[in-house]
């Protein structure tokens, strides 16, 4: 049996909707299906405004432009994240300030975060991980205390909540991803959730997303022609991609339900290795959170054990994988001088975390096989 780490899930309507978009001639951005996606997300998230983007990366870049990050501005974020989080800040001349993470949620340690706030801090950038988020009420309290923006990197958490409120809608702006590895996909794609009633920001978001022009005003008949208004870029996704995404988003709750069953299966069968001390921890859903079950991870006792387990799984045709190389330990991070940072939990998680296969249509026999081989491998280790 061959078990990949990930497989895309299709709901059955993707080809139908893509064909409809082609037949309508709706292939450029802000078309028929884009409007459907936007309405669906705004209704679900209760956002002030949703803007679709060509990627989650571009959603982050657009957010940094909207809050006017400039040279010398500091933005606090975890080192345990994808490069896009830091790139979005640096492309505007800002400075990423890396903070250690909490071992229970793998998101920013709030005490450490507050220590890093200076007179140059412009924003806090919490990164929600694996379907679990940061305690956003506490982050918003800190933001209010120090007069800071909050931009949520919510790439992995659409459908997840904290205290009943969707992750990605607590901060001033939230950024989602629909990359092919996410729960709901368009191949490439993202969305920006604007969560504050700021008419100037909302208007400017339209300009920046449309190459810095007032093209949307022209389409709405508000101006007789459109022209260059601001420095922007091309962040508008094709309606073909939005046709695919609409089919996916119509099934958010069903997809979460299926993934929850898989996570609960892993949890039930692997809990014994926490008790034996072979796992330091594994995916869990803390109180006040509702997960979307984006991934399932285990933390092994050390790097050698993690690498050995991953290698043995591969020998049995099971693809498991590490996750982020902490940014302060990456080649780029080292070149920028971040190697002096002491982020012990980040280092430990980077060295010991292993993600197990998890995809929406994973069958019982596939799960049984993964767990059977893990029992064999971990039995030898113990």
Catalytically active residues are 182
How far, CA to CA in Å, does 88 sit from each of 98, 212, 367? Answer: 14, 17, 37
Tell me the C-alpha distance between 329 and 341, whole Å: 9
Tell me the C-alpha distance between 96 and 336, whole Å: 10
Tell me the C-alpha distance between 142 and 111, whole Å: 10
How far, CA to CA in Å, does 3 sit from each of 78, 213, 309? Answer: 31, 47, 15
Nearest CA to 84 out of 46, 64, 56 is that of: 56
Tell me the C-alpha distance between 81 and 88, whole Å: 12
Tell me the C-alpha distance between 323 and 225, whole Å: 47
The residue written with tokens 């302060």 in the block is 328
3 state SS of 293 = coil
The residue written with tokens 């339900």 in the block is 257
Nearest CA to 245 out of 35, 2, 22 is that of: 35
Q: Say which residues have a Cβ less than 8 Å from residue 188's Cβ, sequence separation at least 6.
A: 54, 55, 178, 179, 180, 237, 241
Beta bridge mates, 193: 50, 174
Nearest CA to 40 out of 201, 243, 210 is that of: 243
Q: At what angle do helices 239-249 and 252-275 cross, to 10 degrees?
A: 60
Tell me the C-alpha distance between 351 and 301, whole Å: 9
Tell me the C-alpha distance between 80 and 349, whole Å: 8
Tell me the C-alpha distance between 204 and 207, whole Å: 5
């Amino acid at each position: 049996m061959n078990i990949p780490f990930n497989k895309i899930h299709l709901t059955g309507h993707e080809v139908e909707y893509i064909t409809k978009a082609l037949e309508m001639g709706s292939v450029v951005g802000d078309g028929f299906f884009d409007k459907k996606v936007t309405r669906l997300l705004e209704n679900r998230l209760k956002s002030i405004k949703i803007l679709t983007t060509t990627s989650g990366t571009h959603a982050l870049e657009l957010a940094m432009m909207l809050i006017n990050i400039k040279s010398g501005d500091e933005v606090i974020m975890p080192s345990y994240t994808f490069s896009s989080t830091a790139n979005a800040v640096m492309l505007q001349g800002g400075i990423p300030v890396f903070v250690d993470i909490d071992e229970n949620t793998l998101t920013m340690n709030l005490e450490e975060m507050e220590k890093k706030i200076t007179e140059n801090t412009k924003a806090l950038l919490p990164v929600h991980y694996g379907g679990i988020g940061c305690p956003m009420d506490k982050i918003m309290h800190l933001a209010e205390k120090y007069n800071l923006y909050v931009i949520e990197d919510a790439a992995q958490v659409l459908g997840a909540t904290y205290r009943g409120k969707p992750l990605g809608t607590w901060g001033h702006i939230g950024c989602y991803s629909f990359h092919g590895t996410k729960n709901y996909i368009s191949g490439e794609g993202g969305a920006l959730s604007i969560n504050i009633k700021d008419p100037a920001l909302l208007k400017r978001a339209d300009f920046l997303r449309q190459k810095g022009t007032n093209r949307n005003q022209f389409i709405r008949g508000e101006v007789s022609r459109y022209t260059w208004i601001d420095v922007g870029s091309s962040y508008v996704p094709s309606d073909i991609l939005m046709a695919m995404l609409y089919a996916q988003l119509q099934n958010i709750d069903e997809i979460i339900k299926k993934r929850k069953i898989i996570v609960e299966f892993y949890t039930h069968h692997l809990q014994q290795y926490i008790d034996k001390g072979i796992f330091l921890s594994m995916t869990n859903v803390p109180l006040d959170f509702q997960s979307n079950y984006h991934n399932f991870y285990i933390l092994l006792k050390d790097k050698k054990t993690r690498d050995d387990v991953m290698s043995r799984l591969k020998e049995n045709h099971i693809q498991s994988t590490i996750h982020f190389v902490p940014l302060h330990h990456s080649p780029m991070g080292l070149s920028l001088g971040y190697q002096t940072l002491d982020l012990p939990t980040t280092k430990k998680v980077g060295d010991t975390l292993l993600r197990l296969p998890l995809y929406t249509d994973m069958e019982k026999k596939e799960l049984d096989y993964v767990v059977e081989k893990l029992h064999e491998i971990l039995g030898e280790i113990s």
